[in-house]
Amino acid sequence: GNIYTELRKMGAKNLKAINLGGGLAVEYSQFKNEKSRNYTLREYANDVVFILKNIAEQKKDLEPDIFIESGRFVAANHAVLIAPVLELFSQEYAENKLILKKQNPKLIDELYDLYKSIKPSNALEYLHDSIDHLESILTLFDLGYVDLQDRSNAEILTHLITKKAILLLGDKQNPADLLAIQDEVQERYLVNFSLFQSIPDFWGLEQNFP
């Protein structure tokens, strides 16, 4: 604070800020009843503001803007998970992945007709129809009336219709509705990692960090 006011006194009138850098203490202890840090963030902020404000008032100078760069304090309680992506499931949703039978369930034939005849004037209607058809196919699959290949064909066709509808509708569709439609075509990734690796340590040992 004194260096700041002295520099301004010497002519550095454009100096209006102080950067305190980093150095904020981080609690590394894994046990809540053991504290290695002897102050809180509020105490630190109160002391810094009080001291700099007091010096500026005593020297009758401008109170500085205060900046800090406490990267460790921000990042220490976080973890980054890096894992390999094994498969991108949306790659399967292509027309060449369709394996239609000579005799398909009626709903599959209707889905295929929707896909081939969709155009801007009927895109939204056909999209809704395809989603209804897919739900019916999934129900029939659960009941044992259609097989896994039929289910796969229904999912592929519905996905293709959805993507085609988005392209055909463009900015003609309400943005909120378009976002809801795009949720139907989100890509799915198969990633090799364990989400529960740190949970036993947190639950059983009350470990603070992942």
| pLDDT, tens digit, 9 for 90 and up, residues 49-89 | 999 999 999 999 999 999 988 888 887 777 677 888 887 77
| pLDDT, tens digit, 9 for 90 and up, residues 104-126 | 999 999 999 999 999 988 888 89
Asked whether the predicted pLDDT for residue 36 surpasses 80, the reply is: no
Buried b (16+ CB within 10 A) or exposed e, 94-110: eeeebeeeeebbebbeb
Give the class (CATH, top level) of 87-191.
mainly alpha
Structure tokens that stand for 102 in this block? 């000579």
How far apart are the C-alpha atoms of 10 and 6, rounded to whole Å? 6
| Axis-axis angle for helices 148-169, 106-117 (nearest 10) | 20
Asked whether the predicted pLDDT for residue 157 surpasses 90, the reply is: yes
> What's the pLDDT score for residue 66?
93
Structure tokens that stand for 34 in this block? 């053991």
Query: 23 Cβ partners below 8 Å, 6+ apart?
Result: 70
CATH 1.20.58.930 domain extents, the chain: 87-191
β-pair type (17-19, 65-67): parallel
Lowest model confidence (mean pLDDT) among 22-31, 59-68, 133-142, 143-152: 22-31
Lowest model confidence (mean pLDDT) among 111-125, 137-151, 179-193: 179-193
